[in-house]
Structure 1
Amino acid sequence: MSQYQTFTAEQAVAYAKEHSGLVDPSELVRAEEIGDGNLNLVFKIYDTQNVSRIIVKQALPYVRCVGESWPLTLDRARLEAQTLIEHYQHCPEHTVKVIHYDPEQYVIVMEDLSDHQIWRSGLIAGLHYPQAAQQLGEYLATVLFYSSDFYLHPHRKKELVAQFMNPQMCEITEDLFFNDPYMEHERNNYPAAIEKAVHALRDNSDLKVAVAELKQRFFSSPQALLHGDIHSGSIFVKSGSLKVIDAEFGFFGPMGFDLGCAIGNLLLNYCGAEGLFDKPTAQQAKAQRLGDIETLWSTFTERFSVLVKHHGSDQALCVDGYVSLFLRNIWRDTLGFAGTELIRRSMGLSHVADLDTISDEAQRHASLCRAIHLGRELILHTDVITDGDSLSAFVRRAF
């Protein structure tokens, strides 16, 4: 099987038998397609005891949720596999394991995480995983440090930047984060009831200038190898464990982008809490999300600083005082990118279940407006929010 062809369930089973690495691959007998409908085919492969053992993921040559009218590079499968392999090398405890990658069929075989739950699903169900924010902070600090100028020789860094060039997937990000929401565009998707909030956003010239600055930073700051789409839907959790998946948007970019996406999604859950839960549960969930954000950021800064101190290789960058300055700049980027994530998930092409599954229409619309408002305020006030604690206070004042 050399020429690219889209897998059927039967072909996925046969492929898993060949590349699973299991002692007895003949026990693999059945596949279930579990893709989320956006970009790829994803199969769970079950054994004779009906236990899911392996995941087979195949890239499609178009955006699945739109159709063949939106073609998409198959090379994203290579970039996803290589990003995950690179991240696993430095942080195996929090990165899904890639078992096999096929550059002809654009297939990744990876470990099954059926004993985990998608973090977003847990949050929407009102579950709290108290270790998750700390583990995510550790993951981000580790993988971003080891792919940064603090650690890599400049020659190796430049080689990796070239290896992980991902122009087509980055273009999707550029459009969905920095272009579409701020203009009338057919990809935008929001209810007519929030039109007033949308127009106010698009009429804000200061906001557009700030978003332009964020877009320029996204274009031109290859600080580290990013996951590129890190959100609560691309993270699996269980008690004591967190694993990151879905890195097909991986590229070298500004560290604050990954941090901002992660924090932005926690804030989306915050914005939807009053529509998802009764009042006491909503208050508890909102406090937990702010606590998660504080923990994520403090863990990231502490871990990153320790790594620079003990493993940094560039003497100029490791000079006393610079890492603190560097992290202050990363925090400002983080706030801005978190704001763009809140906005694009509320009125752009790709929404989140934290808001869309709110059954009461008025509550859903109010939650969308909260997310748009908070996103705007974060982008415009990056200089006055100094850390996780002050972000929590800022959010509480806003709502």
Structure 2
Amino acid sequence: MLERIPYRPLDCASLPQRLGDRPELLAPLGPATGWRVREVGDGNLNLVFIVESDAGSLVVKQALPYARVVGESWPMSLDRAFFEHEALKRLGARDPGRVPDLKLFDPTQALLVMEHLTPHTVVRRALMAGEELPRLGEHVGLYLARTLFRGSDWSLPTAVRKADLALFAGNVELAGITEELVFSDPFKDAPLNRHTPGLEAAALAVRSDRALKIAAQEMKARFATCAETLLHGDLHTGSVMATADDTRVIDAEFALYGPMGFDVGVLLAHLWMACFARSAHHGDAPSADRAGARLLACAETCWQVFAAEFARLWRTERTGILGGCDLFEDQGDSEGSEAALAGQLATVWRDALGFAGIEIHRRILGLAHVAEFETIADTGRRAALERRALAFGRHLAVNRHALDTPAAVTCAVLAAEGV
């Protein structure tokens, strides 16, 4: 029987008692007296527990009524657990096997129980440790193409798409967080901003950089007004877990409708930031060079696979209200269809570069930073690497119309590094 008591945060001691009668946990784990619980949440918002027994293991994720990264002074709605549940169901159906299996959703307690991904590692940690993930670029490229295309008016029946748009419009609180923390705060003197000592001049320069602020405003307008498809909404390397052969996407509470290029750009931004930070996490120059080559190749592969799979879906699953087969293929004009495809991919790529450039700024000058930089104890070295990343991010955002290919972006990374 589902627990009907008012919401109360879980802890390691209370979890077996409070969830020990749930059949969704009992079947794979056995009696609660044999459960071993540990809290592993290292994100900004939620509690995350791994529950293990001799029979198996599961993950329990519970929303907190405040932003964990700040504390109780920043209250938040528990509704984000509902939106994550609904998003994972849809994303999992659009690219089967690429998100964890869902076992239970309890809206009263704002918790999800899902498959424990093991021996998967959070991609951010794996990349920092120098692990090779040879299929990461391929898998995330396929995931992005399938979820973004199949959640859009290119593919979905219009009634379904519009109903989903109305549903996820309710995730207004987390959308507002993105709109302010990503697109506005890093470009002004916002109270939640923080940066590495030594970056004061860089932060001031950003606030007076008219071209960059115009780019940030343009990308914010794209994010806020282009309800193109269902987005994961926070697809960075901490929201992906992988082994050498498998890749899974987690943590979809920021899901909303927006432009396709947003998810693509955020993920690429984190691969590129990892490249800038790599020299601090590898003991010698050859190891750092190899890690950098892998990261740049992964980013290029991600886009190439995305474009190829998006094109395949365009040619085989373009059945939504935007399909346009009646305008092209049905009139014998396959070249026209291919021209429209090229235009759509060009828009996604241009948007992705703009969003990537803004994401780099917010992860260095805003509230939520990345471990690749934050774990560098030498703040002088950290600041120097972050300056290079900021220069690259500015180039992406301001000159996004001039960078036509992933190879051109790779050259820009190397140029910003002084290679």
TM-score normalised to the size of structure 1? 0.96
In structure 1, the residue matched to 2:342 is: 324
Judge conservation of contact 2:28–2:57 (CA < 8 Å) in 1.
no
Pairing 1:342–2:370 present: no
Which residue among 313, 317, 328 is the counterpart of 2:319? 313
Judge conservation of contact 1:16–1:56 (CA < 8 Å) in 2.
no
In structure 2, the residue matched to 1:25 is: 30
Which residue among 96, 110, 113 is the counterpart of 2:114? 110
Distance 2:191 2:278 in 1: 29
Pairing 1:384–2:402 present: yes
Pairing 1:77–2:81 present: yes
Render the CA deviation track for 1:12-32: whole Å, top value 9, x for unaligned: 224165122625631651211
Distance 2:158 2:312 in 1: 21
Distance 2:52 2:111 in 1: 18
Unaligned runs of 5+ in 1: none
Name the amino acid aligned to 2:387: C
Judge conservation of contact 1:44–1:52 (CA < 8 Å) in 2.
no
Pairing 1:365–2:369 present: no
130-139 vs 187-196, greater mean Cα deviation: 187-196
Which residue among 179, 188, 191 is the counterpart of 1:183? 188
Distance 1:266 1:129 in 2: 12
In structure 2, the residue matched to 1:212 is: 217
Distance 2:29 2:62 in 1: 23
Helix, strand or coil: the match of 1:233?
A: coil
Pairing 1:149–2:153 present: yes
Which residue among 53, 57, 61 is the counterpart of 2:61? 57
Name the amino acid aligned to 2:119: D
Seen in structure 2, the aligned counterparts of structure 1 residues 94 and 24 have a Cα distance that, compared at 3 Å, is: closer
Distance 2:39 2:285 in 1: 37
Render the CA deviation track for 1:54-101: whole Å, top value 9, x for unaligned: 001110110012111101111000000110111111212211111111
Unaligned runs of 5+ in 2: 329-336
Seen in structure 2, the aligned counterparts of structure 1 residues 35 and 316 have a Cα distance that, compared at 3 Å, is: closer
Render the CA deviation track for 1:203-241: whole Å, top value 9, x for unaligned: 110111111010001001111110000011110000210
In structure 2, the residue matched to 1:7 is: 10
Distance 1:37 1:391 in 2: 29
Render the CA deviation track for 1:116-150: whole Å, top value 9, x for unaligned: 00100011011120101110000111111111011
Seen in structure 2, the aligned counterparts of structure 1 residues 247 and 345 have a Cα distance that, compared at 3 Å, is: same
Judge conservation of contact 1:385–1:394 (CA < 8 Å) in 2.
no
Seen in structure 2, the aligned counterparts of structure 1 residues 317 and 260 have a Cα distance that, compared at 3 Å, is: farther
Judge conservation of contact 2:155–2:323 (CA < 8 Å) in 1.
no
Render the CA deviation track for 1:157-189: whole Å, top value 9, x for unaligned: 111001112110011111111111111112111
Seen in structure 2, the aligned counterparts of structure 1 residues 191 and 154 have a Cα distance that, compared at 3 Å, is: same
Distance 1:88 1:268 in 2: 28
In structure 1, the residue matched to 2:308 is: 302
Distance 1:24 1:273 in 2: 40
What is the aligned length?
397
Distance 2:129 2:43 in 1: 22
Seen in structure 2, the aligned counterparts of structure 1 residues 260 and 195 have a Cα distance that, compared at 3 Å, is: same
Distance 2:167 2:97 in 1: 25
Helix, strand or coil: the match of 2:257?
A: strand
Judge conservation of contact 2:59–2:116 (CA < 8 Å) in 1.
yes
Distance 1:361 1:9 in 2: 35
Pairing 1:161–2:165 present: yes
Seen in structure 2, the aligned counterparts of structure 1 residues 90 and 37 have a Cα distance that, compared at 3 Å, is: closer
Helix, strand or coil: the match of 2:198?
A: helix
Pairing 1:253–2:270 present: no
Distance 2:117 2:315 in 1: 34
Seen in structure 2, the aligned counterparts of structure 1 residues 117 and 24 have a Cα distance that, compared at 3 Å, is: closer
Name the amino acid aligned to 1:174: E
RMSD: 1.5
Judge conservation of contact 1:317–1:323 (CA < 8 Å) in 2.
no
Helix, strand or coil: the match of 2:60?
A: strand
Q: How does 1:226-245 map to 2 (within 5 A)?
A: 226-245=231-250
In structure 2, the residue matched to 1:36 is: 42
Pairing 1:139–2:151 present: no
Distance 2:56 2:16 in 1: 12
Seen in structure 2, the aligned counterparts of structure 1 residues 303 and 17 have a Cα distance that, compared at 3 Å, is: farther
199-208 vs 354-363, greater mean Cα deviation: 354-363
